Structure 1
Amino acid sequence: MPRAVAPPPSNEFEIRLTKPFSGPPKHTIEVIGSPNRSASIRTTTHTSPTQTTHKTGDVPADDVQELLRLVSELRGFPSHPSKDIYEKDVKVDFNTFEIQWGNEEEESSPDSVKEIAGEQKEDFGRIAESIEALARTFAKKDAAV
């Protein structure tokens, strides 16, 4: 079932990774930009319930293209609003003008959750790790809140 989220302006995207899958976020990565250009990346780490640290940076255009290629593989993957079906303790949301997908969405077919292949779990994990690697590589500048 498509999300009721307004898509970003034409040719813009937002990718968000949040840990853990359920409960208050401890770590969030956001990548925002346009294809064929560099993108902004921001990490937020919750060091306590009231304190956070932020790091920002820019992702080069070539890495943006690779990230978009990887994340587009998630199209059609099943999701579940309350169960971590990929067993990675991570939420990923991908929002473009063409695609709105998240692994914490309502699933139109409950049976598809039972049919998740090991390969889909591996692909999801690989994509989540790629997003985290981009953050480790490029989000190094301290950011004001």
Structure 2
Amino acid sequence: MFNIVDKYKDMCIAFGGHKNAVGLSVSKENIVKLKEMIESEVLEEAQEIVEYDMLLSFKQLKLEMIEILLKLEPFGEKNPYPAFMFKNVKVNDKKEYDKVDRYMLSQEVEKDSVRREISLVGICFDKEKGKNINIGDNIYIVARPKINEFNRKKKY
């Protein structure tokens, strides 16, 4: 976003930011024109690029692995938290809320010739994209696994 707004900084009273954040002040006369220019530029660049660090299966994801990742803190712009892509994730359930959609997801894994499903909860913050995700679909997801600890029990 910064690179796009930077092209039109002459329309701004004040402008600053970095790759992940933009701050600006605009006169009333320029708001509509600037908005239209930015929107058209964003639409041109609408190709979605999803970055991830590694392709994993649910079977490969372990609590110990996440604990090791946490030793790489602090995370931020120059040291982002690792993101993992998971393929062939089945959508088992979908609940729609005002601002987000919540999904029950699973992936079949095989260990010692026994097939089982590993489940997780997924949240989609983009309601428009969520319209295209249906129960029974197999999807790709990108996730940043975290540890949730409650009553001394750790889950991820």
Normalised TM-score (structure 1): 0.27
Greater C-alpha Rg:
2
Q: Which has the higher contact order (CA 8 A, sep 6+)?
A: 1
More strand by share: 2
